[in-house]
Amino acid sequence: MFTNIKTSKSNREVVANLTRKLNLGTENIIARIAFSYSLSKDKKLDLNDLKDSGGKEYSRAVLFGDNYPYYIALLSTHYQLYKTDKDLPKYVKLHIDDGLELIQSELDSNPNLNGFEYVIDKIELGLKAIQV
């Protein structure tokens, strides 16, 4: 378990910009979306790629709220780790940083996209992926 997670220093500004641009709520909402989006890419991130922790800090309660067990279950399943594994907080950080960079890159290539359109587009892609 962890009490706090910090984004990388370079992502401090990214999370603030995405919060303003997407207008989906507070910064922790963008961090949750970034975490989930990164996990949805089904790639395994390497702990050796862990970036600095000079960015935005989130407490566990603010970041995941009452849904903490579900987020950790997703992460634990993805990496085949037990929910109390000492490396889980590092993977949370990796996926938040990765997701923020992915979202920022997508918005850089489509600057007219708003938050609602962005989220709906991702939901539609997800639904198409699970259709039989």
Domain count, the chain: 1
State the residue range of the domain holding 17. Answer: 4-130
Model pLDDT, residue 59: 92
Question: Which residues touch 12 (CB under 8 Å, ≥6 apart)?
Answer: 54, 55, 56
pLDDT digits (tens, 9 = 90+) for 68-111: 999 999 999 999 999 999 999 999 999 999 999 999 998 888 88
Model pLDDT, residue 71: 95
pTM of the model: 0.89
CATH number at residue 35: 1.10.1220.160
